[in-house]
Amino acid sequence: DINEQLDLQNEENESVLYGLASSLVRILYYVVLLLATGWIVWGTISKIEKAEIRTSFRQWAIYLQTALLITTIVMGIFQFVDLLDSWTLGGIFSILTGTTIGISWFLSMLLSISGFAILFRNNWLDRLWVFMLLAVKSVNGHSMAFEPPIRTISLDIIHLLAAAIWAGGLFFILIYWKKQKEHVQQFLLTFSQLALVSIFILIVTGVAST
C-alpha cells in the first residue's frame, strides 16, 4: 500500500511538472511569436536609413526567427506527447494530416523555415508572411472552439497582430535605446500613435471575443 501511494504521488508530481513545463513552453512560444512577427511588421513600416541599424535589425530578425523555429518545434513535441499513445510514423502522420493541431503545427514549421529565405525582399511579402503565421496559429487556438469560427478566428488574428505591433515596437526601443537614441526618438513618433491604436484594438477584440 505504501509503495502504491508513493508511486501515485510520483506520478502526480511528474504530471504537475509536465503541466508546468508545457505552460512555460506555450508562454515562451507566444512571446517569441509576437516579438518575431512584430519585428518584421516594423521592418515594413519604419524607414531605417543608417546601414549600421539596417544590418543590426536584420541580424535581430534572424535571432527571433531562430527562436521562433525552436519554440515551435518544442511546443509541437509537447502537443504530440499529449496526442500520441506511441511514437510511430503512422501515428505521427495521422496527426499531421488528420488533426487541426497537426496541420497547424506543420504549416507553422514551413512558414518559420521559409522566413529565412523570403523575408526582407518585399514589404508586402513580409506582411503576408506575418499574416499567414498568425492565421495558422489562430486556427490552432481557443478561437476554433466557438461558433462561428470564421468570426472568432478573424478576431484572434487581429488581436495577435495588434499585440505583435505593440510588443515588437517596445522590443525595438529596448534594443536601440542606448546606442541609437536619435533614431529611437524618431521611431517613438510613429510608435506612440500605433501603440495607442494597438491597445484600443486589443481591448475591442478581447471584449468581442469574450
CA separation for the pair 111, 72 (Å, rounded): 11
pTM across the whole model: 0.84
Which pLDDT does position 40 carry in this prediction?
A: 95
Percent of the chain with pLDDT over 90: 40
Torsion of CA 77, 83, 84, 85, to 10 degrees: 140
pLDDT on residue 80: 83
Q: What is the pLDDT of residues 107-123, one digit of tens each?
A: 999 999 999 999 999 99
Q: How far apart are CA 45 and CA 69, in angstroms?
A: 24
For residues 200 and 11, the model is more confident at 200
**What pLDDT shows up at residue 209?**
77
**Can you tell me the mean pLDDT for 42-52?**
83
Q: Which of 176, 171, 165 is nearest to 50 (CA)?
A: 176
Cα separation of 6 and 27, whole Å?
A: 31
Beta strands in the chain (DSSP E): none
Is residue 23 over pLDDT 80? yes
Bond before 149 cis per omega within 30 degrees: no
Task: Say whether pLDDT at 86 is over 80.
Answer: no
Radius of gyration of the chain, Cα coordinates, nearest whole angstrom: 20
Q: Which of 11-15, 23-27, 144-148 has the highest average model confidence (pLDDT)?
A: 23-27
What was the pLDDT predicted at 3? 53
Count of other CB atoms within 10 angstroms of residue 192: 10
Query: Residue 13 pLDDT > 80, yes or no?
Result: no
Average pLDDT estimate for 34-52: 88
- 5, pLDDT greater than 60: no
pLDDT at position 202 is 86
